[in-house]
Amino acid sequence: MSVATAIDPQHTAFLAMDFQASILGFLPDPTPLLSRVASAARALRQQGGTIGFVRVAFQDADYEAFPTHSAMGARIKAAGQNMHADSPNTAVHASLAPRASDITVRKTRVGAFSTTDLDAQLKRTGIHTLVLAGVHTSGVVLSTVREAHDLDYRVLVLSDACADPDQEVHDFLMAKIFPRQASVTTVAQFAGNLPTV
């Protein structure tokens, strides 16, 4: 998949995934990362593209629905109210300033699609290209690349708008795994491939 291929903003959605305090805590200072994410969103928004936000958060019923053998359920239950949907720790980071017109979904698993209506919302608006930014690279980004590819989206991953607690894992995924199903690019390259107004 060629990074250089022109991007049609009308059929493209930028997804900012898991940019919330409960996930960003591994970064000493998330400000540079959040600034790059906001820059990518702004570039596509100015061209009429779709912006989406994915957050992971749980209602009381979600905690109860985890089977006793679920490893993820054990981790989420151990986190307690820190991952509750009503906690400010699970809100999309204020610096990204979601708008009422943006797509926003709450998920209860790792990937952006499996427990949300994200695919239906995107398809209704004619989206066929996804631009992904998220934390962790080895979590939501990896799962969503795989899901999006299986759902027949064209996928771009912004390498400098993703982060992971393990830099070696981040680098390996960007260099060896994601290129099998997505184009890996940077925020600057992505913005440069948008049509000029």
Q: In this structure, are strands 129-135 and 50-56 parallel, antiparallel, or unpaired?
A: unpaired
Q: Is residue 159 part of a domain?
A: yes
Q: What is the pLDDT of residues 140-197, one digit of tens each?
A: 999 999 999 999 999 999 999 999 999 999 999 999 999 999 999 999 999 999 987 5
Supply the range of the domain harboring residue 185: 9-57+93-192
Based on its alpha-carbon atoms, the radius of gyration of the chain, rounded to whole angstroms, reads: 16
Domain-embedded: residue 84: no
Instruction: Let me know if residue 124 belongs to a domain.
Output: yes
Whole-angstrom distance, CA of residue 35 vs CA of residue 27 = 14
Residue 82 lies in a domain: no
Q: Is 45 inside a domain boundary?
A: yes
pLDDT bucket at 5, cuts 50 / 70 / 90: low
d(CA 130, CA 119): 11
d(CA 163, CA 24): 9
Query: Total structural domains in the chain?
Result: 1
Q: What is the pLDDT of residues 65-112, one digit of tens each?
A: 999 999 999 999 998 889 999 999 999 999 998 999 999 999 999 999
On whether residue 80 sits in a domain, the answer given is no
We report the CATH number of the domain holding residue 41 as 3.40.50.850
